[in-house]
Amino acid sequence: MKYIALGGMIGYMVCYGLALGPISWFIAVELVSLHYRASMFCATLCVNSFCVVATNFAAVPLFNKIGVMWG
């Protein structure tokens, strides 16, 4: 069970880092008019940064719960 959780977490980080993270900065910005472009860029960067912080803070409790793979 702990290997499935670890694999899921690694898969999420890889998929988010390669696709959803950087793409969200540019797709949402292109969908709004030029007047709101800077505000939309700031909003997407804020959401992306929040998701990165959430996964970073979730790593230590998950290591404590399921154990580390190499230790």
Distance CA 70, CA 63 (A): 11
Q: What is the pLDDT of residues 9-62, one digit of tens each?
A: 888 888 877 776 677 677 878 888 999 999 988 888 888 889 889 989 998 888
Max alpha carbon distance in the chain (Å)? 53
Say what the pLDDT of residue 53 is: 93
Say what the pLDDT of residue 52 is: 86
3 state SS of 44: helix
| Residues 71/8, Cβ–Cβ less than 8 Å | no
Helix 37-66 × helix 2-15 angle, to 10°? 160
CA distances from 31 to 20, 40, 59 (A): 16, 9, 34
Say what the pLDDT of residue 54 is: 93
